[in-house]
Amino acid sequence: MRVSDFLELLLLAAVWGASFIFMRVAAPEFGPVPLIGIRVGLAALVLLPVFVMRKPLHLLWQNKRHILFIGVFNSALPFSLFAYATLHLSAGFTAVINATVSILGAIIAYVWLKESLSVARVAGLFVGFSGVVALVVSAGTFDQQSTQLALAAGLGASFSYGVSASYTKLHMTGVDSLTLSLGSLIAASIVLFPFVIYLWPQQPPSLLSWGNALILASICTGAAYIMYFRLIANVGTSKAISVTLLIPLFGMFWGVVLLNEVVTLNMVLAAITIILGTSLASGVLRPKAILTAFRANKL
């Protein structure tokens, strides 16, 4: 990986990690669903010119039912659930929950697609699950229903991403990422539109919240997708997707720097455990390959 690609990977992780900050600030005034309606709608407008310059528009109409499903389960639903979670959990804490996507995705793929699981990936699931348990324990205040619902919403969002990943692999293999992303954002915008109108806040959101919503839509979604596509083209999908391992670290960092959030030692340990489990479960970390390379170098 070139230095420029690595720096872009770090920038993308920083941008996506910051998305939890912007949701944390804007969600209380907009409400989770209206905020996400703005996010997906404006992000679609950002990506549309890029798409038009590269591809014919009729590609968006092909496989419209599949794209609609992906729009709901990869954008509308998980974005809204994470926005709701930030109402009651810190941005850094919510970013760590996001790291469970690969773990839940591997379980869903095993059950739904009958994908085989190596010993290393199974070990990763157990390690990751223990990290999730540790993270939940670190939240405390289990007697508060709001905290319980927020945790459930965050894990539900990760589960939704996992469902979308398996569905995409089953029905949309071969369709390029730009078409899928723009199509799903447009579909999510259409699905959320009536809910946005119905749930629009009676009290006009402040300029600060509007600013956070616009940055969330244009930079953390639209521009971030463009960076992600470029990384896929330059370094491949497997390396580009490793950005998900860095998002919790940046989410906690931005939470401390921008919102004065407190990161406990238990949160850090849980995050490290989840990232390790995710690395194993997703195949990013391959102990057998590492051992083979070590033996070869030793010899």
In tens, the pLDDT along 224-272 reads 888 887 777 777 655 666 677 788 888 888 999 998 988 888 888 888 8
pLDDT score of 280 = 79
**Core vs surface per residue 146-177: b (16+ CB within 10 A) or e:** ebeebbebbbbbbbbbbbbbbbbeeebeebee
Report residue 133's pLDDT band, with 50, 70 and 90 as the boundaries: confident
Share of the chain above pLDDT 90, in %: 40
DSSP letter string over 208-273? HHHHHHHHHHIIIIIIHHHHHHHHHHHH-HHHHGGGGGTHHHHHHHHHHHHH-----HHHHHHHHH
Euclidean distance between CA atoms 299 and 251, whole angstroms: 42
Structure tokens at 56: 């014919």
Domain with 73, as residue range(s), is 3-298
Is the per-residue pLDDT at 98 higher than 80?
Answer: yes
Indicate the Cα dihedral angle 74, 77, 80, 84, nearest 10°: -120
Number of domains composing the chain: 1
User: Looking at the whole model, is its pTM more than 0.85?
Assistant: yes
pLDDT score of 142 = 55
Q: How large is the average pLDDT for residues 284-298? A: 64
Angle at the Cα of 94 from the Cα atoms of 146 and 239, rounded to 5 degrees: 155
Euclidean distance between CA atoms 265 and 149, whole angstroms: 23
Euclidean distance between CA atoms 192 and 59, whole angstroms: 22
pLDDT score of 200 = 97
